[in-house]
């Protein structure tokens, strides 16, 4: 029997590592360690958002640098997830997890002691690199360490932690910055990772068991280069497009990404035939479960990308709330997401199977529809307490979908390929979020530009009354109103929201009208952002429906899952 056939038999015989071997007595401590690392990694995706004003002031950072403090982490994270997952299969998942955790902790230290915008951007990119090494190992270690119902519980806990961390960053970051722990200010959001990372290393070194693919796999450096290049050509223009005004080179880059990624797939087929050591085992895509699961992951995370960008802009710019206020408003969503993720795999999936995705999508549609009606009715007068129920229901539906996807996708994966499959799952997640954010950016700011004049018109009667009450000369009222409208339109289309458009400087010529302009400006901005937000809600609801429908391609019953396994 040749090596390849023997390897295939090994894969079939070790599906999901189900065996008569007694379970590892340290497995729950190991789970606590890797979930702590997962929380740390996911938290750092969003925690920096609330510290932007402090970072800008302390480091004299420009708008572009501020953008890349967030985007650099996410881009590096997305680019290297596939490679990070396969490294675990080849060199050992525990070893790679420990390396990634050590590197992430060091990068967090560098971020916390940064003395310039460039150093902080570089440190954040380094954080993203090591996060991409850590995260695939988490799913892999769960997949190969736990069996049966315990594996279901472990995946449910991972889904709960991931969903909670993504939003908790907004709340936790705001508290850290506001508390000014030890006088560290914004630096505390990075330095808090040091005790977490060191603790994970100390406990993980003793409690996590090593596992790897039993075949003698070789690193696929050509595949790594092609995958990274293709994803970079796709994601960099999506990340930087609006900042650069969607230049031609961005569209060319995204267009050329397709043949590069096609070359990557072709190379993977050749690599499989030659030595069965591809970066991405193409056999995984023979499974309908795996392919459909990745499709659900992408659609769901496109929706998530649209939601988080649109919601953040609406609360902080449209309603003028502080990051802390916006973060605390997210608490019902956090609670709902945590509850939905915790109950999805343990309560709903055993009873309704793949129908949990449709249920989650239905709850999202109902919740966001209600949210849109409230936002339209109350406008600027919308309060956090009025959002509690829609956000709670939305979060619960979000958790119902987010939690089971990794488990459902890994149903179709031999445990030997768990690292590579985990990398693909997380890449699909990050790719979907990047596409969603880019689409939201194009649509949201496009609506702002097109609707700015209409929003300004809604304030004209009130503005005219206020200018008259402020004893502005009658012959100055109409010119000032025209200047206000031009300012509103210019502010809606500018790239850097921190800059004052030239069209707004003319308003300063009439100091008596300052209060009137401020009030009218807030009303116009709220109306404009409210319109863009409601359109974005419609897009999120549609994408959630797509994710729910794609879920019907997944196995309906346990028997079908067994048939999927037998296909190997």
Whether residue 82 is found in the same domain as residue 160: yes
Q: Is residue 443 part of a domain?
A: no
Six-digit token pair at 501? Answer: 């458009």
Asked if residues 432 and 298 have their Cβ atoms less than 8 Å apart, the reply is yes
Cα 193 from Cα 175, distance rounded (Å) = 15
Extended strands (E) in 63-157: none
For 96, the token pair is 């790679």
Task: Please indicate, yes or no, if residue 65 is contained in any of the structural domains.
Answer: yes
Q: What is the pTM of this model?
A: 0.80
Give the contacts of 263 (CB within 8 A, at least 6 positions apart).
226, 230
209, part of any domain: yes
- 554, HSE (Cβ side, Cα atoms, 13 Å): 29
CB 288 within 8 A of CB 411: no
Q: Is the same domain home to 122 and 268?
A: no
- The domain boundary residue, chosen from 252, 276, 300: 276
Closest CA to 45 of 28, 69, 23: 69
SS3 content of the chain, % helix, strand, coil (to 5): 85, 0, 15
Is 214 in the same domain as 234?
no
Would you call 248 exposed, middle or buried from its count of C-beta atoms within 10 A (0-12, 13-18, 19+)? exposed
Location of structure tokens 């997890």:
97
Find out whether 85 and 424 touch, Cβ atoms under 8 Å: yes
Q: Are residues 107 and 165 in the same domain?
A: yes
Residue 40 in domain: yes
Total domain count, the chain = 3
187 within domain boundaries: yes
Which of 234, 256, 276 finishes a domain? 276
Residue pair 186/47 in contact by the 8 Å Cβ criterion: no
Examine the domain organization and report whether 231 and 252 are in the same domain: yes
Same domain membership, residue 258 and residue 158: no
pLDDT of residue 4: 40
Distance CA 343, CA 352 (A): 12
CATH label of the domain that carries residue 181: 1.20.1250.20
Q: Kindly state whether residues 121 and 260 are assigned to the same domain.
A: no
Residue 252 located in a structural domain: yes
pLDDT at 543: 93
Helix ranges (H only) for 276-348 are 288-313, 323-329, 331-343
Q: Do 474 and 509 belong together in one domain? A: yes
Quick one: 213 and 73 in the same domain?
A: yes
Q: Tokens for 436?
A: 């969603």
pLDDT of residue 497: 60
Predicted local confidence at residue 564, as pLDDT: 43
Q: What is the pLDDT of residue 562?
A: 47
Q: Could you give the CA distance from residue 308 to residue 42 in angstroms, rounded to a whole number?
A: 14
The mean pLDDT values, 10 residues at a time, for the chain of 568 residues are 40 43 79 89 77 81 77 84 85 92 96 93 93 88 82 77 70 74 85 92 90 76 91 85 81 94 92 84 82 88 86 84 78 85 82 89 95 89 91 92 80 71 80 80 81 82 81 80 82 69 73 79 84 91 92 67 44
Q: Which residues of 444-482 are buried (b: 16+ CB within 10 A; e: fewer)?
A: bbebbeebbeebbeebeeebbebbeebebeeeebeebbe
Residues spanned by the domain of 263? 220-276
């750092």: which residue's tokens?
A: 44
Do 109 and 183 sit in the same domain of this protein?
yes
Does residue 360 lie within any of the structural domains? no
Helix or strand (DSSP H, E) at 476: helix 474-493
308: CB partners within 8 A, 6+ apart:
46, 437
C-alpha span between 367 and 389 (Å, rounded): 8
Last residue of a domain, one of 235, 257, 276: 276
Q: What is the pLDDT of residue 70?
A: 78
Same domain as 175, residue 89 = yes
- Please tell me whether residues 67 and 140 are part of one structural domain: yes
Q: Distance (Å, rounded) from C-alpha 149 to C-alpha 238?
A: 40
Say if 59 falls within a structural domain. yes
Give the whole-angstrom CA distance, residue 282 versus residue 567.
14
């Amino acid at each position: 029997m040749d090596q390849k056939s023997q390897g295939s038999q090994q894969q079939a015989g070790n599906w999901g590592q189900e065996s008569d071997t007694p379970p590892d007595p340290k497995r729950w401590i190991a789970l606590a360690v890797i979930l702590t690392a997962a929380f740390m990694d996911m938290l750092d995706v969003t925690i920096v958002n609330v510290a932007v004003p402090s970072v800008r002031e302390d480091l004299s950072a420009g708008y572009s640098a501020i953008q890349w403090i967030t985007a650099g982490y996410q881009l590096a994270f997305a680019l290297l997830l596939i490679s990070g997952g396969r490294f675990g299969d080849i060199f050992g998942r525990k070893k790679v997890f420990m390396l990634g955790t050590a590197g992430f902790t060091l990068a967090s230290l560098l971020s916390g002691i940064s003395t310039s915008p460039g150093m902080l951007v570089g440190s954040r990119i380094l954080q993203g690199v090591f996060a991409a090494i850590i995260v695939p190992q988490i799913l892999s270690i769960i997949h190969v360490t736990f069996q049966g119902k315990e594996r279901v519980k472990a995946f449910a806990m991972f889904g709960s932690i991931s969903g909670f961390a993504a939003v908790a960053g907004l709340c936790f970051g705001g508290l850290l910055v506001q508390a000014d722990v030890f006088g560290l200010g914004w630096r505390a959001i990075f330095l808090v990772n040091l005790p977490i990372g060191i603790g994970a290393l100390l406990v993980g070194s003793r409690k996590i068991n090593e596992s790897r693919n039993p075949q003698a796999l070789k690193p696929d450096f050509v595949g790594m280069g092609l995958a990274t290049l293709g994803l970079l050509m796709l994601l960099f223009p999506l990340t930087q497009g609006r900042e650069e005004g969607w230049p031609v080179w961005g569209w060319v880059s995204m267009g050329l990404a397709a043949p590069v990624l096609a070359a990557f797939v072709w190379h993977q087929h050749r690599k499989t035939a030659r030595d069965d050591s591809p970066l991405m085992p193409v056999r995984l895509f023979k499974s309908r479960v795996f392919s459909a699961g990745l499709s659900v992951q992408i659609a769901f995370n496109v929706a998530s990308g649209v939601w988080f960008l649109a919601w953040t802009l609406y609360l902080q710019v449209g309603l003028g709330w502080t990051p802390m206020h916006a973060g605390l408003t997210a608490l019902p969503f956090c609670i709902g997401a945590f509850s939905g993720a915790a109950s999805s795999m343990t309560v709903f999936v055993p009873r309704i199977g793949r129908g949990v995705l449709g249920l989650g999508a239905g709850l999202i549609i109902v919740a966001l529809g209600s949210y849109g009606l409230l936002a339209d009715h109350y406008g600027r007068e919308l309060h956090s307490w009025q959002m509690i129920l829609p956000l709670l229901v939305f979060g619960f539906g979000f958790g119902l979908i987010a939690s089971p996807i990794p488990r459902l996708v890994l149903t179709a994966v031999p445990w030997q390929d768990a690292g590579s499959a985990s990398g693909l799952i997380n890449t699909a997640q990050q790719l979907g979020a990047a596409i969603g954010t880019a689409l939201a950016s194009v649509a949201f700011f496009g609506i702002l530009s097109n609707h700015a004049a209409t929003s300004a018109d809604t304030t004209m009667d009130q503005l005219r009354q206020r200018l008259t009450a402020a004893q502005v000369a009658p012959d100055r009222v109409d010119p000032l109103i025209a200047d206000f409208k031009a300012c509103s339109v210019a502010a809606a289309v500018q790239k850097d929201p921190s800059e004052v458009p030239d069209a707004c400087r003319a308003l300063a010529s009439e100091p008596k009208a300052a209060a009137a302009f401020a009030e009218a400006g807030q009303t116009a901005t709220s109306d404009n952002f409210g319109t863009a937000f409601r359109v974005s809600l419609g897009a999120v609801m549609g994408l959630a429906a797509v994710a729910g429908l794609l879920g019907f391609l997944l196995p309906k019953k346990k028997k079908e899952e067994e048939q999927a396994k037998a296909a190997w």
